Structure 1
Amino acid sequence: MMQVLPNTSTSHFETDGTMTVKHSRRDILKTSTAAAAGLAFYHGASPRRISAAESPNEKLRLACIGVGGRGAANVSGVQSQDMVAFCDVDEVRAGGTFEKFPNVTRYTDYRKMFDKIGGELDGVVISTPDHTHFHPTYIAMEHDLNVYLEKPLAHNVFETRTLCDLAREKKIATQLGNQRHAMPNMHRVVELVQSGAIGKVREVHSWIGGDRGMPAVPTSKPPVPKTLDYDLWVGPAKFFPYEPTICPYGWRFWWEFGTGETGNWGCHILDIPYWSLGLKHPERVDASGPPVDELRTPKSMHVTYRFNENNQDAPIDLHWYLGTPTDLLQQHGLSGKGMNTVFLGSDGILVCGFGSRKLYPEEKFADFKAPEPFVPDSPGFYNEWIAACKGGPASTCHFDYTGPMAESVLLGNVAYRAGGFSWDAATMTTGDNPKAQSLIRTPYRQGWEI
Structure 2
Amino acid sequence: MAKQTSLNRRGFLKGTTGAGLLICSSQVAFGYKANEKLNVACIGVGGQGVSNTRGVSGENIVAVCDVDEKRAAQMLKQYSGTKRYTDFRLMLSEMDKEIDAVMVCTPDHTHAVAAVGAMKQGKHVYCEKPLTRTVHEARMMRLTAAKHKVVTQMGNQGSASEGVRRATEWGAAGTVGPVENAYLWVSDGSATMTRPKDTPAVPKNLDWDLWLGPASERPYHPSYLPFIWRGWRHFGSGSLGDMGCHTGNFLFRCLNLGELWESGGSSKAKRIRIEGEATGVHAEGYPASTRVHFHIPARGDLPAVKLTVSSGEKMRPSADLLHGKQPGSFGSLLIGTKGSIYSSNPWNTSSEILSKDKGSIKEPPKTLPRGVGHHREWIEACKGKGETFSSFAIGGPLTEMIQLTNIAGIVGEPFHYDTLTGEIPDHAGASALLHRPYRKGWNL
Is TM-score (shorter-chain normalized) higher than 0.5? yes
Q: Which whole-Å CA distance do the structure 1 matches of 2:351 and 2:364 have between them?
A: 14
Q: Which whole-Å CA distance do the structure 2 matches of 1:95 and 1:294 have between them?
A: 37
Classify 1:46/1:399 alpha carbon distance in 2 versus 1 (closer, same or farther; 3 Å). Answer: farther
Q: TM-score, normalised by structure 1?
A: 0.86
Equivalent position of 1:336 in the other structure: 327
Equivalent position of 1:389 in the other structure: 382
Give CA deviations for 1:165-222 in whole Å, capped at 9, x if unaligned: 1111110111111111111012222222333332111111111113444345434422
CA contact (8 A) 2:40 2:61 kept: yes
Equivalent position of 2:8 in the other structure: 28
CA contact (8 A) 1:26 1:121 kept: no
> Quick check: 1:318 aligned with 2:294?
no
Equivalent position of 1:83 in the other structure: 61
- Which of 11, 23, 27 lines up with 1:51 in the alignment? 27
Equivalent position of 1:187 in the other structure: 165
Q: Which moved more, 1:351-360 or 1:285-294?
A: 351-360
Instruction: Give the C-alpha shift of residue 235 in structure 1.
Output: 1.0
RMSD of equivalent CA atoms: 2.8
Q: Which moved more, 1:155-164 or 1:79-88?
A: 155-164
Instruction: Give the C-alpha shift of residue 441 in structure 1.
Output: 2.1
Equivalent position of 2:122 in the other structure: 144
Equivalent position of 2:266 in the other structure: none
Pairs within 5 Å for 1:24-423:
27-29=7-9, 42-43=18-19, 51=27, 55-215=33-193, 217-280=195-258, 281=260, 283-310=272-299, 313-324=302-313, 328-332=317-321, 333-337=324-328, 340-353=331-344, 354-362=348-356, 364-365=357-358, 368=361, 370-418=363-411, 419-423=413-417
Q: Which whole-Å CA distance do the structure 1 matches of 2:443 and 2:120 have between them?
A: 16
Q: Which whole-Å CA distance do the structure 1 matches of 2:316 and 2:382 have between them?
A: 46
Q: Which whole-Å CA distance do the structure 2 matches of 1:255 and 1:148 have between them?
A: 24
Q: Which moved more, 1:196-205 or 1:346-355?
A: 346-355
Give SS of 2:40's match.
strand
Q: Which whole-Å CA distance do the structure 2 matches of 1:77 and 1:379 have between them?
A: 11
Q: Which whole-Å CA distance do the structure 2 matches of 1:158 and 1:66 have between them?
A: 22
Q: Which amino acid aligns with 1:348?
A: G
Tell me the number of residue pairs that the alignment of Structure 1 and Structure 2 aligns. 422
Q: Which whole-Å CA distance do the structure 1 matches of 2:201 and 2:223 have between them?
A: 13
Q: Which whole-Å CA distance do the structure 1 matches of 2:205 and 2:26 have between them?
A: 40
Classify 1:297/1:26 alpha carbon distance in 2 versus 1 (closer, same or farther; 3 Å). Answer: farther
Q: Which amino acid aligns with 1:360?
A: L
Instruction: Give the C-alpha shift of residue 326 in structure 1.
Output: 6.7
Q: Which whole-Å CA distance do the structure 2 matches of 1:242 and 1:417 have between them?
A: 26
CA contact (8 A) 1:207 1:324 kept: no
Instruction: Give the C-alpha shift of residue 31 in structure 1.
Output: 7.5
Q: Which whole-Å CA distance do the structure 2 matches of 1:193 and 1:27 have between them?
A: 43
- Which of 438, 441, 445 lines up with 2:439 in the alignment? 445
Classify 1:234/1:74 alpha carbon distance in 2 versus 1 (closer, same or farther; 3 Å). Answer: same
CA contact (8 A) 1:200 1:312 kept: no
Instruction: Give the C-alpha shift of residue 46 in structure 1.
Output: 12
Q: Which whole-Å CA distance do the structure 1 matches of 2:90 and 2:59 have between them?
A: 22
Q: Which whole-Å CA distance do the structure 2 matches of 1:50 and 1:324 have between them?
A: 55
Give SS of 1:328's match.
coil
Give SS of 2:422's match.
coil
Q: Which whole-Å CA distance do the structure 2 matches of 1:383 and 1:52 have between them?
A: 21
Instruction: Give the C-alpha shift of residue 90 in structure 1.
Output: 0.8
Give CA deviations for 1:319-344 in whole Å, capped at 9, x if unaligned: 11112467632333233247511211
Classify 1:241/1:326 alpha carbon distance in 2 versus 1 (closer, same or farther; 3 Å). Answer: closer
Q: Which whole-Å CA distance do the structure 2 matches of 1:327 and 1:436 have between them?
A: 24
Classify 1:359/1:324 alpha carbon distance in 2 versus 1 (closer, same or farther; 3 Å). Answer: farther
Give SS of 1:233's match.
helix
Q: Which moved more, 1:261-270 or 1:323-332?
A: 323-332
CA contact (8 A) 1:208 1:321 kept: yes
Instruction: Give the C-alpha shift of residue 409 in structure 1.
Output: 1.1
Greater fraction helix: 2
Q: Which whole-Å CA distance do the structure 2 matches of 1:155 and 1:438 have between them?
A: 14
CA contact (8 A) 1:349 1:361 kept: yes
Structure 1 stretches of 5 or more lacking a match? 1-22
Give CA deviations for 1:118-140 in whole Å, capped at 9, x if unaligned: 12110100101111111111221
Identical aligned residues as a percent? 32
Q: Which amino acid aligns with 1:394?
A: E
Give CA deviations for 1:70-89 in whole Å, capped at 9, x if unaligned: 11111001111000000000
Classify 1:145/1:60 alpha carbon distance in 2 versus 1 (closer, same or farther; 3 Å). Answer: same
Instruction: Give the C-alpha shift of residue 284 in structure 1.
Output: 1.7
Give CA deviations for 1:83-106 in whole Å, capped at 9, x if unaligned: 000000012344442332243211
CA contact (8 A) 2:164 2:249 kept: no
CA contact (8 A) 2:291 2:315 kept: no
Q: Which amino acid aligns with 1:373?
A: K
Give SS of 2:318's match.
helix
Q: Which whole-Å CA distance do the structure 1 matches of 2:103 and 2:150 have between them?
A: 13
Classify 1:334/1:279 alpha carbon distance in 2 versus 1 (closer, same or farther; 3 Å). Answer: same
Classify 1:200/1:256 alpha carbon distance in 2 versus 1 (closer, same or farther; 3 Å). Answer: same
Q: Which moved more, 1:215-224 or 1:80-89?
A: 215-224
